[in-house]
Every structure is written in structure tokens, then in C-alpha cells.
Amino acid sequence: MSRLEVSVAAIRGAVRAALTGIASTAAYGPKIDDRAVDLGNAVESLPVSALPLALVACSGGADSLALAGAAAFVGPRAGWRVGVVSVDHGLQEGSGLRARQVVEWAETVGLSPAEVVTVSVGSSGGPEAAARDARYGALVEVAQRHSASAVLLGHTEDDQAETVLLALARGAGPRGIAGMPAVQERDGVVFVRPLLGISRAVCRSACAAMGLSVWDDPHNVDPSFARARVRSDVMPTLVSSLGADVVPNLARTASLVAADAEYLDELASVAFGQCLVDGGLEVKALAELPAPLRSRVLHAWVTSLGVPRASLSYRHIAALDALVTAWHGQGSTQLPGNISVGREANRLVSL
């Protein structure tokens, strides 16, 4: 088997594993017809409506295009319908044409539905965050409209390594260093990243093997974006100095930290309920918690009050923690979202 054929097989295997995992997990997505999960039945004998739908978010770049090409092959053989959504952010000339080309290709290989969704990108949180929020909002809308069981995203091992580096650079905690989860839910829609164990180079090789024309997004090399600088400058320097294993090793770090963080989150969820009292948090119960659990409880509580999760920093949580562990009559703590938290008697309360 040639190297290019190996790359295609690797991506198809990752997609197959992801679809199998979704189908076997009843908690994810709309209910999947049991007949579709039982692959012992002939897929051809099932009505199309009985098959679960996976939507691939595809920009036309090598990663998402390789994912879509693999899903087009694997999906029908694994008892799935597969569709494509191409989000046009309208941030560069010709973006709409490229999105339409992706959809036209998808239709030729039998992917349905195949849609272009045009979004308006705001400015909140910076250009990268604003584009990401607009993109996910569009994907959620399409997935809900078609009752999709999952949306597949083309993030790779390289993307995960870059995410870890960026998190370390900004002093993030375990949640940030854990990187992108393989499976996550947003607004009731399940997002799956089958390629977190696949390199960007393998995706590009797979596209060549499948005869797919790749579009290279100029934003990926635009030095005004932090991730682009990591991709073009920082990561090549690390690989040159430390060896090629630095990329999979960083990605593995994310997986290891994620497992620990998930366990701590479960413990914190229980502790949160034990600390709640009269709409606030009991200081004595908080003070008795280990610091890693206390910070998680504080984080969960203030986000439940309406503080934007993405805007919370270490400084905010540290100030809240001081109301519990270093109380000396200090005033309230101002949080993003115009929310203020203070200490009244033996409780933390929203003021």
C-alpha cells in the first residue's frame, strides 16, 4: 500500500471509529434508529430516513476536505447519512465561490444535505473568536434543522498541539491545556473531532490520493492572528529544536490533562450542589474544599449567574477565592457581564 493510500485508510479508520462511538452512545444527538446501529442488518434494506445523519463542517481546506471525503466513503457503509455544511464568513474575496464549490463537489459524491451558510462576523472577543462563534452558531442551526446526530469537525493533531501552546502562553489552567475535546455538546448539538490523532500532513496526502482540490485559507498564514504565528513560526522552531515528536506529545498532553480535568469537574459538580444556599454559596463549605474544587465551584456559580465563560480569567477567580480564604472586609468583585459578587455574612452573593 502506498503512503497516500495509507493516509486515506488512516482517516477513514478515524471516521469509522467516531461514527461507531456516536451510534453506541445513546446520550448523544437525536435518537438513532436501532436498526441503523445494528450493522448486522443490511444497510441497503433500511429506509434512508432510518439512518442517522452526520454533517461535516467543510471549508475546502485539506483537513475538513479529507474528513468529508472519508466520511462520504465510510458513512453509507457504516449505516449513516452524511451531509456537508460550508460556512462562508465573508471575510475575504471569493469566499462565497469557494463555499459553493465545496457544496457542488459534495453533491457529486452523494452527500446530502449540502449547504452553504453565510454568516456575519461581529467583533466581540477579537476576530478569531468572533468568527468561531459565528461559525458554531451556523452549524448548530443547520444541525438542529436537519435533526443531525452529530457534526464532524476537521481539527487535527497539529491544531490540538497549537491549542495547547496558546493555552500555556496565556497561563491557562487545566481546562485550557486540555485543548479541544474529541466530543462536546453545544446548544444540544454534538460536535465530534475524529482527526485529533491525525496529522495535518496526512490529511493533505489523503486529499491528493483522493484527487481532491485543496483550498488554502490565507488567514492560516496571516501573522495578525496568534494561531497563525504559532503555526508558521513557533511550531517549526520547536520541531527543529526538539524533534518532530513535539507535535504528538503536546496533543497527548491535552488528552492526559483532559482526563484529570473531567474527573475534577465531576467532583466539583457534586460540591457545587453542597455549597448552594439561598441563591448564594456558603463560605464555610467553600473554605473546606480543596483549592482545585473550590475554583471550579466558583467558576460554575458565576457562569450560572450570567458571566460569559470565555471572559473569565484567573484574576477573576482569584479575587472570588480571596472572599473565601483571605477575607478582611474587602469590597465586592466586579466580573464580566456587569455582574458583581460580594460576601454577606457567611455567603457569597450576587449584588
Among the listed residues 223, 227, 296, the one whose alpha carbon sits nearest the alpha carbon of residue 262? 296
**Are 81 and 206 found together in one domain?**
yes
**Are 8 and 78 found together in one domain?**
yes
User: Is 194's pLDDT higher than 90?
Assistant: yes
**Are 244 and 284 found together in one domain?**
no
Task: State the CATH number of the domain containing residue 296.
Answer: 3.30.465.60
**Are 120 and 195 found together in one domain?**
yes
Task: State the CATH number of the domain containing residue 238.
Answer: 3.40.50.620
Higher pLDDT, 292 or 24: 292
For residue 272, being part of any structural domain is answered with: no
* Burial zone of 247 (CB within 10 Å; 0-12 exposed, 13-18 middle, 19+ buried): buried
| End-to-end Cα, the chain, rounded Å | 66
Domain total in the chain? 2
Beta partners for 349?
Answer: 342
**Are 97 and 136 found together in one domain?**
yes
User: Is 175's pLDDT higher than 80?
Assistant: yes
User: Is 173's pLDDT higher than 60?
Assistant: yes
Q: For residue range 51-73, what is the model confidence (pLDDT) as tens digits?
A: 899 999 999 999 999 999 999 99
Q: For residue range 273-325, what is the model confidence (pLDDT) as tens digits?
A: 999 998 899 999 999 999 999 999 999 999 999 998 878 888 999 999 999 99
* Residue 35: per-residue pLDDT: 46
For residue 255, being part of any structural domain is answered with: no
**Are 138 and 7 found together in one domain?**
yes
For residue 261, being part of any structural domain is answered with: no
* Residue 123: per-residue pLDDT: 64
Determine the average pLDDT of the residues in 193-216. 95
Sign of CA dihedral 3, 70, 253, 137: positive
**Are 282 and 243 found together in one domain?**
no
Which range has the worst mean pLDDT, 44-53, 55-64, 202-211?
44-53
* Residue 185: per-residue pLDDT: 92
For residue 257, being part of any structural domain is answered with: no
Among the listed residues 191, 68, 93, 72, the one whose alpha carbon sits nearest the alpha carbon of residue 137? 191
**Cα dihedral angle (223, 225, 229, 230), rounded to 10 degrees?**
-170
**Are 178 and 327 found together in one domain?**
no
For residue 273, being part of any structural domain is answered with: no
pTM: 0.84
DSSP β-ladder status, 339-344 and 333-335: antiparallel
d(CA 74, CA 76): 6
**Are 89 and 152 found together in one domain?**
yes
Range of the domain at 110: 3-249
User: Is 3's pLDDT higher than 70?
Assistant: no
Provide CB contacts within 8 A for 329, sequence distance 6+. none
**Are 185 and 325 found together in one domain?**
no
**Are 228 and 306 found together in one domain?**
no
The C-alpha cell at 215 is: 483550498
Sign of CA dihedral 322, 324, 328, 331: positive
Domain boundary among 249, 266, 298: 249
**Are 215 and 328 found together in one domain?**
no
